[in-house]
């Protein structure tokens, strides 16, 4: 600003000075030229009088002054007398002489070789036909200009200083009110009138920006609300890997909060694989990786975002795939367990069959061997049935038919079926139940009651007791199977619901157990949206409590 004003003032001053210099020189020059012409005329008239009075001797009285030179020329142009030089050549070709002869008087001027001086001639025809000429030397305009150059330069120097001071003062006067403008409230400013259109414009732009900001904030909060309700973790990055947006799930996953916004992704995760995947996605467009974070498995889906062929960022989506992973793991373990569990009875069957085939079994022992083969085959059938039920439960998506089931009646039927086994051990079964009905899957409810009762008898002591209590408390149905059996150690209590888990393998096998009964119970209870509690003490007994909602099958699944 300062510089600009200074330049403008200086340019104006310089231009004005140059124009003034030329104008003044021109005016002065012409004024003095006129004055000189007049004085030359007067001086020539005086010289004419003196010449007419004194004749040629008048020239002797004149001093040889170049600035005042008098020449007397005859009518043919020959110089009769000259106040400065003798023996001058013929002057008949000089303009002033020719004009004097023809018109009575004549003016002419001639420049010196350096052009810094010029000689002015005035000639007048005398009454005797001769011509008297006066010549004077005069400085030219160029010379005059050179002469004025010095004061002009001094003046210019002063102008520069003045221009600088003025420019600084003007800039301050202009800029100060501008700096003090209240741009937050442009219309409240009391300043130059010329600024009004600008302030009005700023005010209207302020309003526009406010509106747009409000709209943006609204959209941003809508976007945050939507993304915060996502179960998947979502992170948006810009092209420099800086976090633009992060939803609640992602904050939880990376144990951070929204303060990480505008920071590099590395701020929330230093994981090498994840950062490499991000790098890869930025280069190739897309990358997927699976990662385990604090015991859970996540699939990270990273996609680059391009806009008009420019990379403008990336979106990271993380899906919780723990359940899928666990299911995969369970399936793997299950397949391995099934093969193993089926192999054992099969080997027993093959072994016994081979012995009989080779005649290595005495006739009286054949029955025992065949009995063993039947027992092992029965175990296999039991196991296969349990596996089929479990896989049905695994694959079911709520498509078991539901009905109103009288649980008390169902428990009675189970007791009836298991009566034989119970009698063998002299185990007493007591059913304490009013009539309780539930909306559920009859077959699954049967599995629950049957397996719990079966275990309560199998793992009971001789002359033991099993109490079955079925009750309804508000909206919940409670089935309690209480035995006086061998009990389950604390460390085994959580594991007995795992597939093929048996506390005492030999005991379980001896009783025809498959290790799948409680897994089926767990699945069936979960299918009904219920839960299981277990209280057990070694050598004292076990109480397994199943709680299911009275009116539904799928809630809580």
Among candidates 361, 362, 514, 509, which has minimal Cα distance to 451?
514
CA 98 vs CA 49, 74, 84, 489: distances in Å: 22, 12, 22, 152
Residues 415-454 contacting ligand ADP, CB under 6 A? 451
The DSSP 8-state label assigned to residue 186 in this structure reads G
| 533 touches ligand ADP (CB under 6 A) | no
What is the C-alpha separation between 99 and 299, in angstroms, rounded? 116
Tell me how far, at minimum, the Cβ of 384 lies from ligand ADP, in Å.
13
Which CB, 438 or 456, lies closer to ligand ADP? 456
Least distance CB 452 / ligand ADP (angstroms): 8
363 versus 506: smaller Cβ distance to ligand ADP: 506
Q: Which of 400, 459, 524, 532 binds ligand ADP (CB under 6 A)?
A: 459
Residue 351 tokens read as 């072994």
Buried b (16+ CB within 10 A) or exposed e, 163-192: beebbeebbeeeeeeeeebeeeebeebeee
Nearer to ligand ADP, 96 or 483 (CB): 483
* Binding to ligand ADP, residues 272-331 (CB under 6 A): none
Of 82 and 480, CB closest to ligand ADP: 480
Asked if 414 is part of the footprint of ligand ADP (rule: CB under 6 A), the reply reads no
504 binding ligand ADP? (CB under 6 A)? yes
Residue 21 binds to ligand ADP (criterion: CB under 6 A): no
The only residue of 134, 253, 456, 548 in contact with ligand ADP, by rule CB under 6 A: 456
Q: Which of 496, 525, 532, 548 binds ligand ADP (CB under 6 A)?
A: 496
* Helix and strand counts by DSSP (H, E) for the chain: 13, 17
Spatial separation of the C-alpha atoms in residues 21 and 19, rounded to whole Å? 5
Q: Which is nearer to ligand ADP, 159 or 451 (CB)?
A: 451
DSSP, collapsed to helix, strand or coil, labels residue 395 as helix
Q: What are phi and psi of 467, to 5 degrees?
A: -115, 125
By three-state DSSP, how is residue 201 classified? helix
Question: Are 443 and 527 within 8 A, CB to CB?
Answer: no
The number of beta carbons lying within 10 Å of the beta carbon of residue 156 is 16
Token pair for 62: 């004149």
Kindly state the smallest distance separating residue 507's Cβ from ligand ADP, in Å.
7
Locate tokens 């990270």: which residue?
300
CB of 496 vs ligand ADP, minimal distance in Å: 4
Using the minimum distance from each CB to ligand ADP, give the nearer residue, 245 or 455.
455
User: Is 233 one of the binding residues for ligand ADP (CB under 6 A)?
Assistant: no
Q: CA-CA distance, 242 to 393, in Å (whole number)? A: 46
Q: Which is nearer to ligand ADP, 487 or 530 (CB)?
A: 487
Only one of the segments 62-70, 156-164, 271-279, 506-514 lies at the binding site for ligand ADP (rule: CB under 6 A); that segment is: 506-514
Pick one of 124, 133, 379, 502: the residue that binds ligand ADP (CB under 6 A): 502
Per the listing, tokens 């009675």 go with 412
Minimal distance, residue 518 CB to ligand ADP, in Å? 3
User: CA triplet 21, 24, 30: central angle to 5 degrees?
Assistant: 135
CA distance 181 to 179: 6
The angle at the Cα of 229, spanning 274 to 209, to the nearest 5 degrees, equals: 90
- Of residues 247 and 455, the one with the C-beta less far from ligand ADP: 455
Compute how many residues bind ligand ADP; rule: CB under 6 A.
Answer: 23
Widest distance between CA atoms in the chain? 197
Site residues for ligand ADP, 507-526, by CB under 6 A, read 508, 513-519
Site mask, ligand ADP, residues 463-492, x = CB under 6 A? --------------------x-xxxx----
Which residues contribute to the site for ligand ADP (CB under 6 A)?
Answer: 451, 455-456, 459, 483, 485-488, 496, 501-504, 508, 513-519, 542
């Amino acid at each position: 600003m300062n510089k600009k004003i200074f330049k403008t003032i200086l340019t104006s001053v310089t231009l004005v000075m140059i124009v003034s210099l030329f104008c003044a020189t021109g005016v002065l020059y012409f004024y003095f030229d006129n004055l000189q012409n007049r004085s030359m005329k007067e001086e020539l008239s005086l010289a004419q009088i003196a010449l007419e009075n004194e004749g040629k001797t008048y020239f002797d009285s004149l001093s040889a002054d170049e600035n005042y030179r008098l020449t007397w020329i005859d009518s043919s142009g020959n110089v009769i007398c000259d106040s400065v030089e003798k023996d001058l050549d013929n002057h008949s070709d000089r303009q002033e002489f020719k004009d004097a002869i023809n018109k009575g008087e004549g003016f002419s001027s001639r420049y010196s070789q350096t052009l810094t001086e010029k000689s002015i001639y005035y000639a007048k025809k005398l009454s005797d036909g001769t011509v008297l000429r006066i010549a004077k030397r005069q400085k030219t305009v160029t010379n005059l200009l050179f002469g004025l150059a010095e004061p002009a330069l001094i003046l210019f120097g002063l102008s520069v200083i003045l221009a600088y001071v003025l420019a600084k003062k003007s800039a301050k006067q202009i800029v100060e009110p501008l700096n003090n403008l209240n741009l937050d409230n442009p219309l409240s400013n009391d300043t130059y009138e010329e600024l009004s259109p600008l302030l009005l414009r700023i005010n209207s732009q302020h309003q526009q920006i406010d509106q747009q900001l409000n709209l943006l904030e609204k959209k941003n909060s809508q976007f945050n609300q939507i993304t915060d309700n996502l179960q998947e973790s979502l992170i948006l990055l810009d092209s420099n890997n800086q976090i633009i947006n992060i939803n609640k799930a992602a904050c939880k996953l990376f144990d951070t909060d929204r303060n990480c916004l505008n920071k590099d992704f590395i701020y929330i995760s230093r994981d090498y694989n994840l950062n490499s995947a991000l790098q890869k996605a930025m280069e190739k467009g897309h990358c997927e990786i699976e990662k385990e974070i604090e015991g859970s498995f996540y699939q990270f889906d990273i996609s680059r975002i391009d806009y008009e062929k420019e990379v403008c960022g990336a979106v990271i989506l993380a899906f919780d795939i723990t359940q899928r992973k666990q299911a995969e793991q369970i399936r793997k373990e299950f397949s391995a367990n099934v093969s193993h569990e089926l192999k054992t009875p099969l080997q027993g069957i093959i072994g016994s069959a081979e012995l009989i085939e080779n005649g290595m079994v005495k006739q009286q022992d054949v029955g025992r061997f065949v009995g063993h083969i039947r027992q092992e085959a029965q175990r296999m059938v039991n196991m296969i049935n349990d596996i089929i039920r479990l896989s049905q439960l695994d694959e079911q998506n709520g498509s078991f038919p539901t009905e109103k089931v009288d649980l008390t009646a169902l428990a009675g039927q189970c007791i009836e079926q298991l009566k034989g086994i119970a009698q063998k051990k002299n185990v007493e079964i007591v059913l304490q139940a009013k009539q309780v009905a539930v909306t559920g899957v009859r077959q699954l409810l049967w599995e629950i009651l049957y397996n719990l009762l079966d275990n309560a008898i199998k793992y009971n002591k001789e002359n033991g007791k099993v109490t079955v209590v079925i009750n309804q408390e508000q909206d919940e149905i409670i089935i309690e199977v209480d035995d006086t059996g061998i009990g389950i150690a604390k460390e085994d209590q959580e594991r007995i619901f795992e597939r093929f888990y048996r506390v005492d393998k030999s005991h379980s096998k001896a009783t025809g157990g498959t290790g799948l009964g409680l897994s089926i119970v767990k699945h069936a209870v979960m299918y009904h949206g219920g839960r299981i509690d277990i209280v057990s003490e070694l050598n004292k007994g076990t109480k397994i409590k199943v709680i299911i909602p009275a009116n539904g099958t799928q809630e809580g699944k």
